[in-house]
Amino acid sequence: MEESCLMADLQVAPWTLVIPVKRTAIAKSRLAAAYPQHRPELARAFAVDTTAAALESPLVRAVLVVTDDPVVSADVAALGARVIPDLLEAGLNGALEHGAAIAAREFPEAGIVALSADLPALRPAELTAALAVCTAARSFVIDQPGTGTTMLAAAAGVALDPRFGVGSALAHQASGAVPIELMAIESLRRDVDTAADLAHAVQLGVGPRTADVMSLVLGAATGSEGLAC
Ligand SMILES: Nc1nc2c(ncn2[C@@H]2O[C@H](COP(=O)(O)OP(=O)(O)OP(=O)(O)O)[C@@H](O)[C@H]2O)c(=O)[nH]1
Ligand SMILES: C=C(OP(=O)(O)O)C(=O)O
């Protein structure tokens, strides 16, 4: 009896993920010039593909999506994520603190991970590999350009203390978080802010919702000369 209880404990996935998603009507502004018509749809697709990939990792116990976006909310809830309304005017780090507080209350024995929602090429195996080496009190993954952060993990009982924003890699390191040095986690590092980032993500292989929007974009571009994307 005791042994089977122990086995069950060991099988509980050790991380709760918090994914912040800005309202897609205003998100991903750096894509506006290249994708004036499809920018909100791309932002939604990135968030839903990121959430779907996160839910597939065996090390993920639950995914909490902090958002006020109604379409994203419906889509991620259908996948099995839990939706938490954003805090008014709290910004990205405020949204993460809010989600982390709920995660800590509901799953006190799990660590908490903040994951950016703009990782449309994310592969569950790469997320799993990174989570498996988050052994410090706080660990983080530096983004592809080398200055930002795509993931911040805090062990159970440790405050997340998110410092996302411009120059967040340095800010997280200065706050004591340890960078994850794994090489083979390109899809976890590839956050998409610009059209060039998106082209690279497409090369890596994006999830199905982002691929669908990219097909629409391509159709619009080839269907009519000079038509805005
Ligand atoms: N819930 C919530 N998420 C946010 C907020 N601000 C940013 N995010 C999310 O945080 C992540 C990283 O943000 P950015 O890459 O700066 O996204 P963005 O603000 O949509 O992009 P830009 O307009 O190009 O700066 C993305 O997943 C965003 O959706 C916020 O105020 N609330
Ligand atoms: C929010 C961040 O970056 P970006 O706006 O480049 O996604 C970050 O890297 O902390």
Q: Residues 84-140: pLDDT tens digits?
A: 999 888 999 999 999 999 999 999 999 999 999 999 999 999 999 999 999 999 999
Q: Is the Cβ–Cβ distance between 93 and 116 less than 8 Å?
A: no
Rounded to the nearest angstrom, the distance between the alpha carbon of 169 and the centre of ligand 2 is: 9
Give residue 12's pLDDT: 81
Q: Is the Cβ–Cβ distance between 114 and 177 less than 8 Å?
A: no
| Residue 225 pLDDT exceeds 90 | no
Phi, psi (rounded to 5 degrees) for 152:
-135, 125
Closest atom of ligand 1 relative to the 90 alpha carbon: 31
DSSP-derived pairing of the beta strands 178-179 and 138-142: parallel
Selection from 121, 111, 75 nearest residue 214 by Cα? 121
Q: Is 222 annotated among the ligand-binding residues?
A: no
Q: Is the Cβ–Cβ distance between 17 and 60 less than 8 Å?
A: yes
Q: Is the Cβ–Cβ distance between 133 and 174 less than 8 Å?
A: no
Rounded to the nearest angstrom, the distance between the alpha carbon of 5 and the centre of ligand 1 is: 41
Of all residues in the chain, the percent with pLDDT exceeding 70 is 92
| Residue 47 pLDDT exceeds 60 | yes
Q: Is the Cβ–Cβ distance between 143 and 76 less than 8 Å?
A: no
Section 58-81 average pLDDT:
98
Chain CA centroid to CA 3, Å: 36
Instruction: State whether the beta carbon of 28 lies less than 6 angstroms from ligand 1.
Output: yes
**pTM reported for the whole predicted model:** 0.93
CATH number of this structure's domain 2-222, picked from the four choices 3.40.50.10860, 2.60.120.580, 3.60.70.12, 3.90.550.10: 3.90.550.10
Tokens found for residue 162: 């998110």
Domain ranges of the chain: 2-222
DSSP-derived pairing of the beta strands 82-84 and 60-67: parallel
Closest atom of ligand 2 relative to the 118 alpha carbon: 7
